[in-house]
Structure formats: C-alpha cells, structure tokens
Amino acid sequence: MNLGVNIDHIGVLREARKINDPDPLMALAICAQSGADQITIHLREDRRHIHDDDAYRIITTSPIPVNLECAIEPSIIEIVCALRPHRATLVPEKRQEVTTEGGLDVIGHHNFILDAIKQLKQHEIEISLFIDPTREAIEASERLGAEWVELHTGTYANLYAMRYSALPHSHHSIEALNLSRNELDNLLENAYGTIVDAANYARSLGLKVAAGHGLNYQNVTPIVSIDTIEELNIGQSIVARSVFTGLATAVSDMKALCQR
C-alpha cells in the first residue's frame, strides 16, 4: 500500500500568521525521506493553505510524484496545466467548507469534467477523480477516461470515530447519541463494505484505486487490508501527530501501518 501524504496543513499553520514559516517545501523533503511514496497538495481557489508558488516549488523539486488536487474551475485548470504535476485529482470545492465534504458529481458535472480532463491530458497529466464509493460514480469515471479513482472514506472515518474514539469528536458524538451500539456497528460495517465493493469494482474495470479522507492511526488498518486499493492519501492526522512527534516519525509510523 503506497502512502501519499497531504501537506496542506503545513500551509494552514503558516497562514495562521501569514508569514513564511513553516515552509511546505521543507515538509516535502522530510516526508520523502520518511517513507512517503507521493506528496499531495490542494491548490484551493481561495488559496487558504497552498499558494501557486508553493505548488511550483514542490512540483519542480520533488523526488517523489506530486498529486495536485484541484477544482474543475477553468482558471485553476489552466494553472495546473502550466505546473504539470504528475497527477491531478479533481475534487469538488465549496468556499465555506472546512474540508472536501463529498465526492465529485461525476454524472451531473460530466461535461465540465470531460473538458478539464481533455485539457489536462494534453499536458500529459495523469487524472484521478475523487468520488463517493458508488458503482455509478466508478462507471462514470471510467467513461470519462480517468486513470485513477480516489474513494472518499469520510463516512467510514466518521462512523469509526463515533464507535471507537475515546475523545469527544466534534458533532459526531452528538449524532451518535441517537444510535445504539448495534446500529452504529451495522452502519460502520456497511460503510466499510461499500468501500471494499467499490474498490474491487473499480479495479475490475481497470482503474487504479486510491482512497482517503479522515484516515488516521486508529482507523487505517482495515482499509490497508483491501488489496484492490493501491494508495492512501492522508493529511490531517499525520500533521496533527507531527506536532507531538515530529513529521518524520509521524510519516514513518503511518507508513508502517500501511505495510500489508
């Protein structure tokens, strides 16, 4: 299982002061030395963490492949084409959201996505679509010509936290109050089964399969055991742990959990 490390949160920390420290480029070097197989950054329209200049410096110097997440917004797609990362992952983006909340609407936004894919492919950029783990979304992604799908694991991660986390987990524990442990177990099992099913189906159609969102040191092991998934993209939990352990240890600990 390959590990892609999302370093957006290094940029979040820098932007808290709007200075030049910590530098995401330095995080790239440490991640690459500590077992990361790929580095992910998200160039958001509001540039809330990663800036164009970060993306340029990271893409032009990275010793490992760079996966650039972006919205299907013409001005952003143009920048991505000029930057030429190894891979572009198209994601839905809303300005007010705290993080990417759901998968791309690959059916409703078919034509916009197709235009973006055609443009990116002219620049030899590999395409991944961040989707909910459904058969319809996988079929649409395959028809659109994506090489990869990245399955959104947020529902699984939220249910896992409700079921097992000893820490209060924002609004999720409040929602959980209305559920019995049995109901929660069933929901979690279903969410996990949906990911297994989606990964197997995508692989059977010849797509490469990644997964991510909300994965952490507690909930990652069952996902690692799905052998049709070849890469996990993990950000928040690694950067959060790095505050206490340092980034090198946080990455190598996660990499160890990714060994099958």
Q: Could you list the active site residues?
A: 42, 69, 213
Concatenating the DSSP letter of every residue in 166-205 gives: SS--HHHHHHHTTS-HHHHHHHHHHHHHHHHHHHHHHHHT
What pairing do the DSSP bridges indicate for beta strands 66-70 and 38-42?
parallel
Q: How far is the CB of 36 from ligand PXP (least distance, A)?
A: 13
Q: How far is the CB of 99 from ligand PXP (least distance, A)?
A: 5
String marking each residue 210-249 x if it binds ligand PXP according to CB under 6 A: --xxxx-----------------xxxxx------------
State which residue, 101 or 227, has the beta carbon closest to ligand PXP: 101
Q: Which pair of structure tokens corresponds to residue 163?
A: 């079921």
Half-sphere exposure of 150 (CA within 13 A, CB side): 30
Q: How far apart (Å, rounded) are the C-alpha atoms in residues 160 and 209?
A: 22
Q: How far is the CB of 150 from ligand PXP (least distance, A)?
A: 5
Our finding on whether 99 is near ligand PXP (CB under 6 A) is: yes
State which residue, 186 or 249, has the beta carbon closest to ligand PXP: 249
- The footprint of ligand PXP on residues 58-77 (CB under 6 A) is 69
What's the Cα-to-Cα distance from 136 to each of 28, 100, 109, 151, 190, rounded to whole Å?
A: 35, 20, 14, 13, 17
Q: How far is the CB of 9 from ligand PXP (least distance, A)?
A: 7
Our finding on whether 89 is near ligand PXP (CB under 6 A) is: yes
How far does Cα 83 stand from its chain's mean position?
A: 20
**Phi then psi for 186, rounded to 5 degrees?**
-65, -40
- The footprint of ligand PXP on residues 20-49 (CB under 6 A) is 42
Our finding on whether 130 is near ligand PXP (CB under 6 A) is: yes
Concatenating the DSSP letter of every residue in 21-56 gives: -S-HHHHHHHHHHTT-SEEEEE--TT-SS--HHHHH
- The footprint of ligand PXP on residues 154-183 (CB under 6 A) is none
Summarize as ranges the residues that interact with ligand PXP (CB under 6 A): 6, 8, 42, 69, 89, 91, 99-100, 130, 150, 212-215, 233-237
